[in-house]
């Protein structure tokens, strides 16, 4: 049954275990505290965090996860001290220069989500090139959320649809959950099945507000630079043991009813 717009906006409604998430979304938090524990500047934590990103990508490739969305830098993170923002941008640019060819070789398709306007031209250029180079890859979709905010994602989607309505190309009744989904940054990808946040805080911090509607949430106090494959395996095992009901009853799920 696909008549309800709310339900049909959830492309992945797989409910039976064991399974691997098709789409894993991660808030990589705790770099600053990791550095502080070592009496080092926060930027040292960000560098260590970049190494954990590589480990996480390897993990997803090994486990056959189709899509990985990493929250690298939020729209609110622009308000951090200037030198920290500068160091993060440099780190980001270096990572693009260093990693893109290897990611391409491994079949990774890169996509950057977030408002690009505030990034320096050189970085925007690199982002465009990386997306273009990897556009036909299909082993892993890697979405990097940079300058991303869930609310501004929804705002830009609403503006797009409102412009279509104003131009007479879309009727108000045609504004459905699918339409909104398709106007958002992750258009064409299934919603995240599993969300992980490291660093101990249990909040969404303006990440994928729309797409996380029925995502399984998993939190750990482990700081992002300390993440390893065992921790990620633990999160996947926990996910595989959960029953996703999407509003139905356990009995309906046992009978194989799909929402
Ligand atoms: C996450 O680590 C990385 C970014 C937000 C860029 P933090 O820098 O937020 O680290 P903590 O939370 O202060 O420890
Ligand atoms: C969320 O972490 C954003 C990223 C990890 C990129 P923050 O450290 O910015 O979140 P808050 O401020 O603790 O909510
Ligand atoms: Mg933080």
The CATH number that applies at residue 89 is 3.40.1180.10
Measure the CA dihedral 154/189/50/129, to 10°: -90
Residue closest via CA to ligand 1's atom 6 equals 73
Domain count, the chain: 1
Angstrom distance (rounded) from CA 153 to CA 239? 27
- 7: in domain: no
Task: Decide: residue 136, CB within 10 A, 0-12 exposed, 13-18 middle, 19+ buried.
Answer: exposed
What is the distance in A from the centroid of ligand 2 to the CA of 71? 9
Q: What is the mean pLDDT of the chain?
A: 93
Residue closest via CA to ligand 2's atom 1 equals 205
pLDDT of residue 12: 47
Question: Is pLDDT above 80 for 6?
Answer: no
- 69: in domain: yes
The reply to whether ligand 2 has any atom less than 6 angstroms from the CB of 72 is: yes
pLDDT of residue 2: 35
Using a 6 Å CB cutoff, which residues line ligand 1? 28-33, 73, 77, 88, 199
Residue with tokens 């990440």: 207
258 against 173, higher pLDDT: 173
Range of the structural domain that residue 35 is part of? 19-148+191-254
Ligand 1 atom with minimal separation from the 42 CA: 8
- 162: in domain: no
Reported for 202-207, long-range contacts at CB under 8 A and 24+ positions apart, including other chains, are 204/27, 204/150, 205/27, 205/29, 205/71, 205/74, 205/76, 206/74, 206/75, 206/76, 206/149, 206/150, 206/151, 207/25, 207/27, 207/71, 207/74, 207/145, 207/148, 207/150
Question: Is pLDDT above 80 for 163?
Answer: yes
Angstrom distance (rounded) from CA 43 to CA 88? 7
- 23: in domain: yes
Q: What six digits make up the tokens of 153?
A: 């994602």
Task: Please say whether the beta carbons of 56 and 68 come within 8 A.
Answer: yes
Ligand 1 atom with minimal separation from the 30 CA: 14
Angstrom distance (rounded) from CA 224 to CA 47? 11
CB-facing half-sphere around the CA of 232: CA atoms within 13 A: 26
Angstrom distance (rounded) from CA 67 to CA 191? 10
Q: Cα angle at 195 between 189 and 197, to 5 degrees?
A: 135
Poorest-pLDDT segment among 6-15, 63-72, 134-143: 6-15
**Average pLDDT rounded to a whole number, residues 161-181:** 97
- 2: in domain: no
The reply to whether ligand 2 has any atom less than 6 angstroms from the CB of 27 is: yes
- 5: in domain: no
- Tell me the whole-structure pTM to 2 decimals: 0.93
Of 20, 18, 6, 19, nearest to 259 by C-alpha is 6
Q: Where are the alpha helices (DSSP H) in the chain?
A: 5-8, 31-37, 42-63, 82-105, 121-133, 150-166, 177-183, 229-240, 250-254
Annotated catalytic residues are 29, 77
Angstrom distance (rounded) from CA 177 to CA 185? 14
- 3: in domain: no
pLDDT of residue 258: 85
Residue closest via CA to ligand 2's atom 8 equals 29
- 175: in domain: no
pLDDT of residue 259: 82
């Amino acid at each position: 049954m696909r008549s309800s717009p709310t339900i049909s906006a959830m492309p992945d409604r797989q409910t039976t275990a064991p399974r691997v998430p098709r789409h894993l979304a991660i808030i990589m938090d705790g770099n600053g505290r990791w550095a502080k524990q070592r009496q080092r500047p926060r930027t040292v934590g960000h560098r260590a965090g970049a190494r954990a990103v590589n480990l996480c990508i390897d993990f997803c490739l090994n486990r056959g996860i189709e899509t990985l969305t990493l929250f690298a830098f939020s729209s609110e993170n622009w308000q951090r001290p200037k030198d920290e923002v500068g160091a993060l941008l440099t780190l980001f640019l270096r990572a693009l220069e260093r990693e893109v060819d290897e990611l391409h070789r491994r079949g990774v398709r890169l996509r950057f989500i977030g408002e690009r306007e505030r990034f320096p031209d050189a970085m925007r250029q690199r982002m465009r090139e990386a997306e273009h180079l990897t556009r036909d890859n299909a082993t892993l979709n890697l979405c990097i959320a940079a300058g991303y905010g869930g609310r501004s994602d929804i705002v830009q989607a609403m503006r797009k649809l409102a412009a279509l309505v104003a131009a007479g190309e879309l009727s108000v009744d045609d504004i459905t959950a699918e339409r909104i989904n398709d106007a958002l940054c992750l258009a064409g990808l299934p919603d995240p099945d599993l969300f992980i946040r490291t660093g101990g805080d249990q909040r969404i911090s303006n990440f994928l507000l729309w797409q996380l509607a029925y995502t399984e949430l998993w939190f750990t106090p482990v700081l992002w630079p300390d993440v390893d494959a065992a921790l990620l395996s633990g999160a996947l095992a926990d996910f595989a043991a959960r029953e996703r009901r999407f509003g139905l009853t356990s009995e309906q799920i046992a009978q194989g009813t799909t929402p």
